[in-house]
Amino acid sequence: MVNRLLLLVLLLTALSPEIWAQCTPTPNSGACFRAYDAITGQELPFYLCVGRPVRLRDCSGKSLDPAQIYYRQASAIACSGFVDTITTFTPTAPGVLVVTQNTQGPQGGSQGIIFSRNFEVKSTPLPAFSLTTCTPGFVQVTVTDTNYDQYFVQIGNDAPVPALRNATVTYPTSGPSSVMVIGRYNQTGICTGTATRTFTPLPAPQRPALRSLTVQGNTAQFQFNALQPEYQYSLQVADGAAPGGYRTVAPIASNLTSFSLSNAPLPGCYRLLLQDNCQPSVVSSSSFVICSVALTGTTQNGRNLLSWTSGGLGGYSLTRTDGTNSVTLPVPAGSTQYTDTAVTCGTVYRYRLTQTMGTTTSISDEVAITTSPGTAPAAPRLLASFNLRNQVELTATLARNPSGGLLTFLRNGQELRTTPQRTLRDSLLTPSLADPLCYAVRFQDACGTRSTDSAPVCPVLLEARAANDEGTTIRLTWTALRGPDVAAAVSYRLLTLSPTNAVLRSLPVANGLTFLDLQPPQDQQVVRYRVEATGGGLAAPSYSNVASVARQVKVFVPTAFTPNGDGLNDVLELKGRFLDNFRFVVMDRNGQQVFQATTRTQTWDGRIGNEKPASGAYVWRFEATDQEGRRLVQHGTVTIIK
């Protein structure tokens, strides 16, 4: 009976070891266990790590059965529930961890011994950090984590180096493009957390290109080439008081190619600065400097005066706009001012100045000027010349006013017409030496200011008369040319013209205003002349009216002819002069036409049809129209004698 009771007690003890353990620690009982890192074997006296396995080992020195050593992990001492004899475990949560050991008593059948140790479990999260890729060969790291006591940064395959929390450090890079941050605790080197990030090295920085600067009021408009998105940019203006001589006026987003700066410092010299995100004071590159151009303008005495200043170098071009018409004005190299004389009073002109240096341009603000009246405009210069229809053509020239305004043309002091045109044709004329012609012109600009009358110009008046009845000599007489410069010499040239106005002959006349033509064209019924006058201050020749002499058409018809074949007076032929347009008809006594000629080469041998000439009297009629349209009719009789 006693043996059965003892066997029951031993069985219960094997199934429930806590029933023979006390519920209080027994520190002086000789119980002992230690904790070791399961990976390195390092003893862990106080700190454990989340996720890192721990091995427990009894150190009491007693000969204990491992199958009867139990451990429990909790936030307080455990007095029951000892069912685990596994000596390796992995902490899963940070905080205080109490490991309780339950072993056999000092005597095999006595109570068990409860022994506990307190540990602190440390978490090992991924350390937080920020990474900025810098110019090629560098990367910037900032540890922002707050979990660990100390940190290390490893760049690629380089050795880890200590790092401070919230301190931005730029590291050189080589080899693999990766950054690893390691977090550790001061109390234990076992509990560490690591975080790794890769990055792409930046392309080499390229010098930015600032292409143009245009001023519009107090706004500066910039154009530049595409920027590299991996870098940061700023627009700077020259400022002697600023470090480095330039002051930043605006950041520039890297996706822009243009930028408008309101309330810009003007005048000013600007540059676009590229900087590395990590080392802006070390890695930087600036564009070429572009300086603004300041253009000012005034008007005085009908002229527009422009002047400008700029801190930059390069050539200039000045653009003038009048309505929709734009023209580029020539600006001499090195000039800082320009006088625009080709303007009209009362007209609004808009000017812009462009400075060019290489591929960069700086454009000034627009300046608008309304040209104001000044002194009276200069008198025009006038040219008066007859055309081939004997109309006087007047041409006025105004050096400073090629267009606009009004011109008043005068003939012998009387107004002919007021027109904005620079030319006028006076066609109501019958040129005569007895009625001299002198012309003048005055100008009135858009502001109503009048010039004085131009110097009078009197074209040559030519008269031609036959010096004898036959017109075989012709006397020519003309008036003197008066040009705008009465003191300047005048020379004359006598021109003989064809019916189509081609010049047949040109003779200089050395002296006087008359000429006796002893050899007029013999084949022209109407002889035409013109005088070309040069000098007198005229910029071009002035021509006289076309004067002509119409000589009489004459025909000679014999009274008889003898068509007998003796070779003497056998045919009837016409003789005379200027027989160009005529009709000659011969009729018999019955009024029947027997012969007709329209050219001098046509002759009549007396035959009527195929019949032989018959003696007798015949009637002839001659009709002609001369070159001036006058009609000539003659008639008579001719007798055939055998």
Task: From 578, 574, 552, 557, select the one nearest 470 (Cα to Cα).
Answer: 552
Q: How far apart are CA 347 and CA 351, in angstroms?
A: 13
Which pLDDT score is estimated for 221? 97
Q: How far apart are CA 433 and CA 392, in angstroms?
A: 15
Which pLDDT score is estimated for 8? 34
| Average pLDDT for 598-609 | 91
Q: How far apart are CA 30 and CA 28, in angstroms?
A: 6
Q: What is the band of 26 on the pLDDT scale with cuts at 50, 70, 90?
A: low
Buried b (16+ CB within 10 A) or exposed e, 274-297: bbbbbeeeebbebbbbbbbbbbeb
In the chain, what are the helix, strand and coil shares in percent, each to the nearest 5?
Answer: 5, 45, 50
Helix (H, G, I), strand (E, B) or coil at 349: strand
Query: In which order are the strands placed within the sheet that holds 138-143?
Result: 129-133, 138-143, 168-172
> At 594, which helix (H) or strand (E)?
strand 593-597
What's the pLDDT tens digit per position in 286-314?
Answer: 999 999 999 999 998 788 999 999 998 88
Which pLDDT score is estimated for 27? 64
Which pLDDT score is estimated for 626? 86
| Average pLDDT for 50-66 | 90
Query: In which order are the strands placed within the sheet that holds 439-444?
Result: 414-419, 406-411, 439-444
Mean of all residue pLDDT scores within the chain:
89
pTM assigned to the model: 0.50
Which pLDDT score is estimated for 545? 95
| Average pLDDT for 423-448 | 89
C-alpha distance across the termini of the chain, in Å: 210
CB 189 within 8 A of CB 223: no
> Does the pLDDT value for residue 110 go beyond 60?
no
> Does the pLDDT value for residue 426 go beyond 90?
yes
| Residue with tokens 């002893």, as numbered in its chain | 518
Q: How far apart are CA 175 and CA 137, in angstroms?
A: 10
Q: How far apart are CA 1 and CA 157, in angstroms?
A: 77
What's the pLDDT tens digit per position in 484-506?
Answer: 999 999 999 999 999 899 999 99
Q: What is the band of 323 on the pLDDT scale with cuts at 50, 70, 90?
A: confident
595: Cβ contacts below 8 Å, ≥ 6 apart:
572, 585, 586, 604
Q: Strand ranges (DSSP E) for 42-191? A: 47-49, 54-58, 70-74, 88-89, 95-103, 113-122, 129-133, 138-143, 150-155, 161-163, 168-172, 178-184
Q: Are strands 168-172 and 138-143 parallel, antiparallel or unpaired?
A: antiparallel
Q: Which tokens hold the place of 311? A: 């801190």
> Does the pLDDT value for residue 63 go beyond 80?
yes
Q: How far apart are CA 390 and CA 465, in angstroms?
A: 18
Q: How far apart are CA 17 and CA 100, in angstroms?
A: 14
Q: What is the band of 24 on the pLDDT scale with cuts at 50, 70, 90?
A: low
Which pLDDT score is estimated for 6? 34
CB 404 within 8 A of CB 445: yes
Task: From 606, 513, 237, 536, select the one nearest 384 (Cα to Cα).
Answer: 536
Q: What is the band of 558 on the pLDDT scale with cuts at 50, 70, 90?
A: very high
Which pLDDT score is estimated for 628? 80
Amino acid in the structure at residue 27: P
Helix (H, G, I), strand (E, B) or coil at 8: helix
| Average pLDDT for 252-279 | 94
CA distances from 140 to 102, 131, 153, 276 (A): 54, 6, 11, 11
Helix (H, G, I), strand (E, B) or coil at 14: helix
Number of other residues whose CB lies within 10 A of the CB of residue 133: 19
| Average pLDDT for 184-192 | 89
Task: From 290, 373, 295, select the one nearest 338 (Cα to Cα).
Answer: 295
Beta bridge partners of 180: 154, 196
Q: What is the band of 399 on the pLDDT scale with cuts at 50, 70, 90?
A: confident
What's the pLDDT tens digit per position in 171-180?
Answer: 998 878 999 9
CB 337 within 8 A of CB 306: yes
Task: From 91, 124, 96, 293, select the one nearest 194 (Cα to Cα).
Answer: 124
Task: From 113, 99, 100, 181, select the one nearest 147 (Cα to Cα).
Answer: 181
Which DSSP string do the residues of 222-233 spell out, in sequence order? EEEPPPPTTSEE
| Omega of the bond leading into 456 within 30 degrees of 0 (cis) | no
| Average pLDDT for 234-258 | 95
Q: What is the band of 2 on the pLDDT scale with cuts at 50, 70, 90?
A: very low
> Does the pLDDT value for residue 390 go beyond 50?
yes
109: Cβ contacts below 8 Å, ≥ 6 apart:
none
Q: Which tokens hold the place of 73? A: 């992990």
At residue 68, what are phi and psi to the nearest 5 degrees? -120, 20
Task: From 505, 475, 479, select the one nearest 493 (Cα to Cα).
Answer: 505
At residue 245, what are phi and psi to the nearest 5 degrees? 85, 5
Which pLDDT score is estimated for 469? 85
Which pLDDT score is estimated for 196? 96
Which pLDDT score is estimated for 16? 42
Q: Give percent of the chain with pLDDT exceeding 90.
A: 66
Q: What is the band of 111 on the pLDDT scale with cuts at 50, 70, 90?
A: low
CA distances from 602 to 229, 553, 578, 597 (A): 102, 18, 16, 6
> Does the pLDDT value for residue 25 go beyond 80?
no
What's the pLDDT tens digit per position in 3-12?
Answer: 333 333 333 3
CB 618 within 8 A of CB 586: yes
Which pLDDT score is estimated for 139? 92
Q: What is the band of 344 on the pLDDT scale with cuts at 50, 70, 90?
A: confident
Which DSSP string do the residues of 403-449 spell out, in sequence order? SSSEEEEEETTEEEEEESSSEEEE------TTS---EEEEEE-TTSP
| Average pLDDT for 518-535 | 93
